Each structure stands twice: as C-alpha cells, then as structure tokens.
Structure 1
Amino acid sequence: MLRFLESIQRQHSIQLPRYLIVGGLATASHYCMFLLLINFVAPLPASLAGAVAGTLISYQGNKRWTFAQGAQAPWHGQMLRFCLTAFAYNLGNALMMLLLLDRWPQSPLLVQMFSTASLTLVSYWINRTWTFKHETF
C-alpha cells in the first residue's frame, strides 16, 4: 500500500507542475491571439479565438507531455472530454467571480486569482482522472 501511495505522490509531483506550465502557455497564447486580433475584430470574437487557441495548446500539451504515459486514447473522445472540462472550468470561473465579487467588489484581481487557483486544481484532478485516464495509469 505504501508503494502505491508513493507512486501516486511521484506522479503528482511530475504531472502537476507540467499541468501548470502547459496552462501558463495556453493562457499566454490566449492573450497573444486576443491582442493580435483586437485591432481587426470586436473584443468578443478576439477573445473567443484566443480561447480556442489556448484550448488547443492546452489539450496537446497535456495529452503529449503532462499525462502521456503509454498508449494514446482515441482523440475524438478524449478531445470531447477535454472540451467539456474546459467549458465547465470557464463556467465555474464565471459563477465563482459573480458570487465572490458580490462579497468583495474591491478586490477583483484577488477574486480572479483565488478562482483560478481553485479551479485549476479541480480541473487538474478531472483531467487526470477522466479526460486523460488512458494515459495516466
């Protein structure tokens, strides 16, 4: 049992930092796409294009680096699970922001940081145990 727990801890000590790096790169690509397009299209389409770019980078980075440990799962089911997780993350972020900003309107950046940190850990667990389940174990 102890070896099993050590194995799980070792996996998390490798996968969580990788997940955070991939997430940082995906977020940076989202913002870069947004900044490139904002002069040519309205803010919402620019943001949506950035979200698509970030989602694709996040999916590929997590599939190929963070959670890759063996045979690859069929991409279509895995990509759908990833998109559902990303959608839930963004919906959760919006709801958490609405709720927390109602209580602490003077600290939107702090609220966003708390929301991001909380949801990132939840999305890591979901992606590890559901989205990329074939590559994890």
Structure 2
Amino acid sequence: MIALRPLHRLGRQLVIFFGAGIAAAIAHYGLLIGLVEWAGAHPVPATLAGYVAGGIISYALNRKHTYESVRPHREATWRFTVVALVGFLLTWGFMHAFVEWLDAPYLPAQLVTTGIVMLWSFIAHRTWTFA
C-alpha cells in the first residue's frame, strides 16, 4: 500500500492540473477565437496572446492547488517563466507548422498544440518549477 502513495499523488496532481488547464484554456481559446474571428488577427500571434493570458491563470492555480508549492514566489515565478517561455516557443513552432506549412484549420491545430504543450508543462513544473 505504501508504494501506491506516489502514484495516488501523481494521479491527484494530474486531475487538478487538468482542471487548472481547463481554466487557462478558456482564457487562451477565448482570446484566440476573439482575436481571429472578431478582430481579424492572424491565428499565430492570436494564439500567443492567448497563451500569455492562460499562463497567468495557470501559474496562480497550479502553484496553489496542483503542486501545493511552498517555494517562494521570487523563485517560482522565474522558473515558471522559463517553462512558459519554452511552452510559448513550442506553441509558436507547432502552430506555425500546422497553420502555415500544413494549411490546417487553426482550432484543430491549437488542440494538438495544447496537448503537446500541456505534457511539457506538467513534467517541467512538477520536476522543477514547483518541486
């Protein structure tokens, strides 16, 4: 039974991370769709703006609820920023490839990109940012 505790904790973190991700995704996708559909923005810069908005929500929710981190903000914020910057670059790279090179519709492209970046973010935050 003792060996199951780390798995239980990991499962709990994944569920809470997913919930925080939904809140961040609502901000991200809301801004993305609003900028593309109503402001006529190009999908790649629009998704990057959405990524930043979602990132702010993600930091607050994940620090407190997912990882229950006691790491001081002065340490956690710069680490979160480094992980977010990598995620930002991954978002740009995948969205650019999907939308520009493969001519994919921007919302399905964003869904795939979100999955990739969420996996990266969970692992990096769990092992480094909030560890």
Instruction: Please state which band the TM-score falls in when normalised by the shorter chain.
Output: 0.7 to 0.9
Whether the 8 Å contact between 2:91 and 2:117 is mirrored in structure 1 is: yes
Report the counterpart of residue 119 of structure 1 in structure 2.
117
CA separation of 1:24/1:66 partners in 2, compared to 1, >3 Å: closer, same or farther?
Answer: same
Distance 2:31 2:90 in 1: 23
Q: How is 1:37-52 mapped onto 2 (pairs within 5 angstroms)? A: 48=49, 52=52
Write the deviation string for residues 17-61 of structure 1: whole angstroms up to 9, x where unpaired. 1111112212323456786xxx9xxx779x74x655433321111
Report the counterpart of residue 63 of structure 1 in structure 2.
63
Give the drift of 1:132.
0.3
Runs of 4+ aligned structure 1 residues displaced above 6 Å come to none
Question: Does 1:11 find its partner at 2:19?
Answer: no
TM-score for the superposition, normalised by structure 2: 0.73
Q: How is 1:1-137 mapped onto 2 (pairs within 5 angstroms)? A: 3-4=2-3, 6-30=4-28, 48=49, 52-68=52-68, 72-101=70-99, 104-133=102-131
Number of aligned residue pairs:
125
Question: Tell me, which stretches of 5 or more residues in structure 1 are unaligned?
Answer: none
Q: Identity over aligned residues, as a percent?
A: 26
Distance 1:117 1:20 in 2: 11
Distance 1:15 1:62 in 2: 9
Distance 1:30 1:108 in 2: 13
**Which protein has the larger Cα radius of gyration, Structure 1 or Structure 2?**
1
CA separation of 1:64/1:93 partners in 2, compared to 1, >3 Å: closer, same or farther?
Answer: same
CA separation of 1:63/1:107 partners in 2, compared to 1, >3 Å: closer, same or farther?
Answer: same
CA separation of 1:56/1:122 partners in 2, compared to 1, >3 Å: closer, same or farther?
Answer: same
Whether the 8 Å contact between 2:98 and 2:104 is mirrored in structure 1 is: no
How large is the Cα RMSD of the aligned pairs? 3.3
Write the deviation string for residues 78-113 of structure 1: whole angstroms up to 9, x where unpaired. 111111111211111111222344553244433321
TM-score for the superposition, normalised by structure 1: 0.70
